[in-house]
Amino acid sequence: MAWTALAVLVTLLYPLAIWLGHGQFEPRWLALLLVVAAGARLPAMKLSSAARWSVGGALVLAACALWSNLLLPLKLYPVLVNAAFLAAFGYSLTTPVSMVERLARLREPDLPAEAVAYTRRVTQLWCVFFLLNGGCALATALWTSEAVWSLYNGVIAYVLMGLLFAGELLARRHFRRQYQK
């Protein structure tokens, strides 16, 4: 549990730390933040291949920043995170049980067929979100200032994710009321 909290905290604060550290520290020193972020995800590596790819990718980005002393590899980390989530959620759509269905079954093991179809649509929606959010993360990494990159990846992306989650929660409640009648 402590590792999960550390991973979440490092991931949430990462864009802010990069923005604040830029100009104060060389990118090769800031790359240590990425190593910490990858290290915090090590316990999850036993659980999913997406976590293994994410940790490996983070270490490659950190190595590139260490070697080149450029900030760009560090700014690509949010792109990597979105790509890993897109891969995990997208892959689950090729299996009988989608990612959101898997999560829903933790609370409600016996899902009706209508709920299974609903969870598949929600998984597709999250895939679209990760694709678009990853594209915005890439655009901000390549073509905007560190301040804009940090604002988008450290604030706006999380607000958008929260809005999608809250909207889906409201839609799910409506779906349940409609289905239970």
The tens place of each residue's pLDDT in the chain, 181 residues long, gives 666 677 777 777 788 888 888 889 899 988 988 888 777 777 765 667 777 788 889 899 999 999 999 999 999 999 999 999 999 999 999 999 999 999 999 988 888 889 999 999 999 999 999 999 999 999 999 999 999 999 999 999 999 999 999 999 999 888 878 876 5
The answer to whether residues 35 and 59 touch, using CB atoms and an 8 Å cutoff, is: yes
Q: What tokens does 178 get?
A: 């409609």
How far does CA 21 lie from the centroid of its chain?
Answer: 22
Question: Cβ neighbours of residue 43 under 8 Å, at least 6 residues apart?
Answer: 3, 4
pTM of the full structure: 0.87
Q: CA torsion sign, 23 to 25 to 30 to 31?
A: positive
Compute the C-alpha angle 64/36/11, nearest 5°: 95
Burial class (CB in 10 A: 0-12, 13-18, 19+), 169: exposed
Which pLDDT does position 53 carry in this prediction? 83
The answer to whether residues 145 and 19 touch, using CB atoms and an 8 Å cutoff, is: no
Residue by residue, DSSP assigns 34-100 as HHHHHHHTGGGGGT-HHHHHHHHHHHHHHHHHHHH--SHHHHTHHHHHHHHHHHHHHHHTTSSS-HH
Which pLDDT does position 101 carry in this prediction? 95
The answer to whether residues 55 and 38 touch, using CB atoms and an 8 Å cutoff, is: yes
Which pLDDT does position 83 carry in this prediction? 95
**How far is the C-alpha of 56 from the C-alpha of 61, rounded, in Å?**
9
Least Cα distance to 150 among 8, 17, 10, 57 occurs for 17
Which pLDDT does position 9 carry in this prediction? 78
